[in-house]
Amino acid sequence: MTHLFQTLKDDWSISATVAGFLAVLISYSGPLIIFFQAAQQAQVSPAMMISWIWGISIAAAISSIYLSVKFKVPIVMAWSAPGTALLVTLFPEISLNEAIAAYITTAVVLFVIGITGYFDKLLALIPQSVAAGMMAGILVNFGLGLFTATENMPIIVTSMLMVFLIAKRFNPRYAMLWVLGVGLILSLIFGKFQPVTMNFSIAIPQFIQPEWSWNSTLNLALPLILVSLSGQFLPGMSLLKLSGYNVPAKPIITTASITSLIFACFGAITTVLGSITAALCMGADAHEAKDKRYIAGICNGLFYILGGLFAGSIVLLFSLFPKELVAALAGLALLGAISSNLTVAMQTENQRESALITFLATASGMSLLGMSSVVWGICIGLLAHFVLTPKKSSPKTNLASDSKRA
């Protein structure tokens, strides 16, 4: 243990600490907005919302610190942003207790997938274009919400959009921070919310009794498993490899599922491998030496602990935001995710139609036989894929057909 602390002390750097801090700050100013939108839909109490933030923060912190120390790699864990977006579409049709049961089901399934090492094999069964089309369909309504928010707050939302465009051009890494700052300042100027005294009290987690139902299993757990694997763990593992870190998927998925299972009953949605915020901790800005960037992953976890402990202050701050501001922030924060998923969905020519069908069915909001548009989107998309995509003929079949012609 003494040797570990000495190593951490020797490898510590200001740049890695800043990278870890920015990753947490961007998570709180971007994906957390979607969480508040889900809370508004579910009409949960402030105390319950505090428990949600405490759960997702501490779960991400523990897994980030453990994995970064174990592998000496900047492994940044987070909560599932696409999964949180899915919650917005399902609340209040499903209860909070049903959502907790779906979190537990998801954690158990991910644990089995992780411990058995079937991650790569399972993803191979689901076409990437169909999975991306489903995710784009889930997220597109957030992008549309950005523009519908202009009806009630035209000056503020338009200004946020302009700042976002300028920041993406000249300072892309901190674009959402600029947008958040401008949105807050303009909302204050136009009297959309009133500042209050912050109360830095320690967060108290609230236990939520799970309630299993086929409705939440099919409409939340099943899509959550899919988006966690294809939308979080897959790009996260790809980013690690692109950054020169060869870490097996098995311990990462297993650790994430265990922390998800532990904190699910406190309102924490599935813990997953980060990709967007993780990029901040894996680049040269975190540290010139690649083998010392793992400090950024550890610092990321430490700052998450602080965020979790003082979750009440975060809830108090965000609860003052007008719903149009929340919608605009969520839409801008997810533009990149919408764009990347649409790009993946349409990049293979012979799979574009099935991906488009998946996207449209998911985005439609249809509900049939008790199943949401997300479930129908993936089912209809898979059917379209297998019908429209020609099967590759084997070499033996080609040889046989050629000999018959001869």
At residue 29, the pLDDT reads 65
Kind of pairing, strands 271-273 and 77-79? antiparallel
Main-chain dihedrals φ then ψ at residue 114, nearest 5 degrees: -70, -50
Beta-strand ranges (E) seen in 76-125 are 77-79
Segments in 174-229 forming alpha helices (H): 175-189, 214-216, 222-228
Say if pTM beats, i.e. exceeds, 0.75.
no
At residue 30, the pLDDT reads 63
State the Cα–Cα distance between residues 367 and 206, nearest whole angstrom. Answer: 32
Residues paired with 273 in a beta bridge: 77
Q: Would you say 277 and 26 are in contact if contact means Cβ atoms under 8 Å apart?
A: yes
Two structure tokens written together for 393: 């003929």
At residue 179, the pLDDT reads 84
Q: Is 213 helix (H, G, I), strand (E, B) or coil?
A: coil
Q: Exposure pattern of 198-212 as b/e (b: 16+ CB <10 Å)?
A: eeeeebebbebebee
At residue 399, the pLDDT reads 46
- The pLDDT tens digits of the residues spanning 353-394 come to 889 998 998 888 777 765 667 778 888 888 998 888 776 654
State the Cα–Cα distance between residues 313 and 302, nearest whole angstrom. Answer: 17
Q: Mean pLDDT in runs of 10 for the chain (406 residues)?
A: 79 82 74 74 80 91 94 90 77 85 94 85 74 80 85 89 90 76 86 64 86 88 84 76 82 94 91 77 77 90 90 70 77 77 84 90 77 76 86 52 50
Two structure tokens written together for 252: 């990462």
At residue 315, the pLDDT reads 65
Q: Would you say 216 and 101 are in contact if contact means Cβ atoms under 8 Å apart?
A: yes
At residue 298, the pLDDT reads 93
Amino acid identity, residue 390?
Answer: P
Q: Would you say 259 and 63 are in contact if contact means Cβ atoms under 8 Å apart?
A: yes
- Kindly state the DSSP code that residue 207 receives in the 8-state scheme: -
State the Cα–Cα distance between residues 238 and 235, nearest whole angstrom. Answer: 5
Domain ranges of the chain: 2-349
Q: Is 371 helix (H, G, I), strand (E, B) or coil?
A: strand
At residue 388, the pLDDT reads 86
Q: Would you say 79 and 56 are in contact if contact means Cβ atoms under 8 Å apart?
A: yes
DSSP string, 119-180: HHHHHHHS-HHHHHHHHHHHHHHHHHHHHHGGGT-HHHHHHHHHHHHHHHHH-GGGHHHHHH
